Structure 1
């Protein structure tokens, strides 16, 4: 496991937004005229807040586009599992009505960490990280509790193949061999099991109940990992190919050195996205009574 990894920054580069239109036939050049942001189905009301706030108001109006589960304890786990799967499939493509970009790929601005001990040390500085194939996620089991003031859920998921790409600066060692490079990283994870856990509760705002998330964790268990670092040893192909072979021959040990960082990325992404939705969409709209 990683002994120490540094800051993790997550940025959704495609902004969540409502459609941009202009009031009173204003010019369409955004540099000189600030647009009025409208939810598409309401041409009379306009919203002057930030893009994220507009998205969530649109989400409330257009929530019928997404699966909804009734708050029936016996049926909720199975319904919730299917709803998550269906929602991920919907988000494979942008949803213009909600101003939602595709989640395929998820985009992360940067990821830096230092990790390793003994025979494997891999210090990495990743930029322009992209995570592909999230919409292919299968939810094999869901546990969810929305009783009293609690909100806890655990999603057991399976992804046949998840792909990470990034620009990578790498320095370290493996089996006493020094390794250094500055190029592209391709990481393919096959037969991936991921368990995502959320713990939170319920809060009231203006006599309306909302869900809140206090903590989110993610645990990854891969069946196979294939790794390729380009431009190792200043582009020396023979040395680079040999080092990539060593990395793949020892993929379990290598992946364990940065697994915690990727778990943190996915956990933060889910936490931030779901948390912002729960903060704006009332519980009764997300999980109506039976």
Structure 2
């Protein structure tokens, strides 16, 4: 469920240094320690991004608000239709660690690893289908909390010209998510039957890895779309050479 959090954070920091405290790092392409510079810049950006950057119209990401995410029905041991609305994602900037940048400025491909100790999703949900042999249905409030989330992240960019200046936009964002542990809670399962609901929530958590594997791809796709937009909101305003000076 991530987003290249660290790389996106670093991009925004570099793009808006005039609006940020003087202790934020600027990373030059010629820096022989570029990887370490990006790692540190991304780390320092988290606190400021939690509240957004008004000067560049970047909304707060603590929490990150997502309108809608759906998971279509699969045909296997998990056969669920899931719909999430009014999503609030907490924890993207808390305890974030970014490492292992691999940067290709010729092809504009940026790769990194990131770690979040806890990411929590709160949303209005609708669910219908079955998990293993058990039917499940309901609608109400849902919480999905992922612990020790590791992710691998890749941005693909391209340059374009606007008003005589060269800019960059993100064409595609790919993320692969790997949480160590997941806890789920769905309120109002089975029309509010507390006994059945409690039993099903226990069953869901006992099989949380299986359920998450079915949800992984829509999570990754949704976050890729959201963070591509955030990054491009910055890149569309700041020339490439000011974001990544030589």
Q: Indicate whether 1:130 and 2:96 are aligned.
A: no
Provide the residue aligned with 2:129 in structure 1: 172
| Greater shift in the superposed pair: 176-185 or 207-216 | 207-216
Tell me the TM-score normalised to structure 2 length: 0.86
Q: CA deviation at 1:246?
A: 0.9
For residue 281 of structure 1, give the secondary structure of its aligned residue in structure 2: coil
SS of 1:104 mapped into structure 2? coil
* Greater RCO structure (CA 8 Å; 6+ sep): 2
Q: How many pairs were matched up?
A: 230
Of the three residues 230, 234, 240, the one matched with 2:191 is 234
User: Is 2:104 the counterpart of 1:145?
Assistant: yes
275-284 vs 126-135, which deviates more? 275-284
2:41, 2:225 → 1: CA distance? Answer: 21
In structure 2, the partner of 1:260 is 217
Aligned-CA RMSD value: 2.0
CA shift, 1:74, in A, is 2.4
- Distance in 1 separating the partners of 2:235 and 2:57: 17
Tell me how far apart the structure 2 counterparts of residues 60 and 239 of structure 1 sit (CA, whole Å). 52
Contact 1:202–1:211 (Cα < 8 Å) also in 2: yes
Shift in Å at residue 60 of structure 1?
5.8
Deviation sequence 1:16-61 (CA, Å, 0-9, x none): xxxxxxxxxxxxxxxxxxxxxxxxxxxxxxxxxxxxxxxx9xx768
CA distance in 2, matches of 1:206, 1:97: 20
The aligned residue for residue 26 of structure 1 is: none
**What's the TM-score once normalised by structure 1's chain length?**
0.74
Could you tell me which residue of structure 1 aligns to residue 46 of structure 2?
88
CA distance in 2, matches of 1:215, 1:99: 21
* 1:148-204 deviation digits (Å, cap 9, x = unpaired): xx2110120000000001000110101211101011110000010111201123233
Q: Which runs of 5+ in 2 are unaligned?
A: 1-11
Bigger Cα Rg = 1
| 1:62 is the counterpart of 2:18 | yes
* Alignment counterpart, residue 79 of structure 1, candidates 20, 29, 37: 37
Q: Which residue of 1 aligns with 2:4?
A: none
How far the C-alpha of 1:62 sits from its partner, in A, is 3.2
Q: Please point out which of 224, 227, 233 is paired with 1:276.
A: 233
